[in-house]
Copies of this chain bind each other. A is one copy, B any other.
């Protein structure tokens, strides 16, 4: 479902719509009423024509969600609201985030303690990837299998819509939903996940749609901050690197705005500064922010230093600026030395910039030791420090995805 990510399971006679239940009102991707109207009537027609072939539980769910479209209720713990799809980070408010993080924490226990959980035994997930993203795919597939579920894999979904076998995304979804219980989709087009969720009668998780959203990355970033620092209210976060083009840091800034007394520092080369829309949004939400070009000074004050990659092509002809930027915003031992004891370094990974990689490729007989000497945006000598949180952050992606699969398939 596009405009109602949550629906109520029929546990209470009346639907509650408490204050602040505006899941989508701060969405960056508001669609016109025209669009929604057509989508919804389309979905309804589709639903009606197919009701005869649905199980009772499926039918209930659909009627329920049709109802929810108008009321736009939010999640209330204890009221057994059902998470239907995961399309964008903005669909979650802080209560839902908090509830998801609790489940993620339970997943940590399951993954570490119990060999062979059977929680999702008998459930089937399809990873429908229109472009390869091995890291994200393996993380989702591991999550499903750690819970006893099974997986259908394709990194070749583009074949569905190839010239020879032309097919709309909608038709592909209606076919694939017949084979599986949940679809995890990676697509090259912004908005593709929403279209898939609109069409599907089973849950859809957006595993990245082009320059659009990558909500599970956003969730795992916030979860990591909570896990590492112990809180989200009152934290100080330094966002470092290419802030203009980074989907990750933009999503993170948006989600942080849901918490109180947050302070954000933007540390970036002039050419790739954080854009105005985010700054205005933060201001409107009462989040303090500051721009700085002094990484060490910021690092000394922050709970989290969130580093991202800097890409040469963003600098166009100005390779001089690029070279300057590369050298200036590196997290190394010197930066670590000024950081507080409880603070952490995060990175969405992979951490190397292209030039460093090119440089390493040219070397023969290279060793981890050698690589640590080479300049990267986080130098390898940082890895040994307990404050280097980026591999734990990647692992948290597993727990977040386990939690979402559990919630989408079994409910709270």
A residues contacting B by CB (< 8 A) are 35, 38-39, 42, 45-46, 48-50, 52-53, 55, 112, 114-117, 121-124, 126, 132-135, 137-139, 141-142, 145-146, 150, 152-157, 159-161, 163-168, 170-172, 174-176, 178-180, 195, 198-199, 349-354, 356-357, 360, 367-369, 371-372, 383-386, 388, 391-392, 394-395, 398
B159 with A369: CB separation less than 8 A: no
A242 CB, nearest partner CB in chain B, Å: 14
Question: Once the chains bind, are A178 and B391 in contact (CB under 8 Å)?
Answer: yes
Q: Which of B55, B175, B368, B398 contacts A178 (CB under 8 A)?
A: B398
Cα A135 to Cα B152 in complex, Å, equals 11
- Bound-state CA distance A292–B137 (Å) is 50
Interface of A is mostly: helix
**A49 with B388: CB separation less than 8 A:** yes
Q: Say yes or no: A150 contacts B156, CB within 8 Å.
A: no
Residues on B with C-beta less than 8 A from A357 are 161, 163, 166-167
Instruction: With CB as the reference atom, state the residue of chain B lying closest to A41.
Output: B369
**A409 CB to closest chain B CB, in angstroms?**
10
CB pair A394 B124 closer than 8 Å: no
12 additional A-B pairs beyond A46-B384, A134-B159, A167-B350, beta carbons within 8 Å, are A42-B372, A42-B384, A49-B384, A114-B122, A115-B123, A138-B152, A139-B179, A141-B152, A145-B150, A168-B360, A168-B371, A178-B394
How far is the CB of A190 from the nearest CB of chain B, in Å?
10
Measured CB to CB, the nearest residue on chain B to A126 is B138
How far, in whole Å, are A117 and B150 apart by their CA atoms in the complex? Answer: 12
Taking CB atoms, residues of chain B closer than 8 Å to A50 are: 391
Closest Cβ of chain B to A85, distance in Å, is: 16
A193 to chain B, nearest CB (A): 15
CB contacts (< 8 Å) of A392 on chain B: these are: 53
Q: Which 4 pairs between the two chains have the least Cβ-Cβ distance?
A: A116-B122, A166-B357, A45-B384, A167-B350
- In the complex, how many angstroms separate the beta carbon of A196 from the nearest chain B beta carbon? 11
Do the beta carbons of B175 and A349 come within 8 Å of each other?
A: yes
Measured between C-beta atoms, what is the minimum distance from A356 to chain B in Å?
7
A171 touches B138 (CB 8 A): no
Query: Are the C-beta atoms of B176 and A156 separated by less than 8 Å?
Result: no
Known: A115-B123, A138-B126. A171 touches B45 (CB 8 A): no
Q: Are B146 and A368 in contact (CB under 8 A)?
A: no
Name the residue among A49, A354, A356 with the largest chain B CB count within 10 angstroms: A49
| Residue from A39, A198, A386 with most neighbouring chain B CB atoms (10 Å) | A386
Give CA–CA (A90, B179) in the complex, Å: 27
Contact across chains for A35 and B367 when beta carbons are under 8 A apart: yes
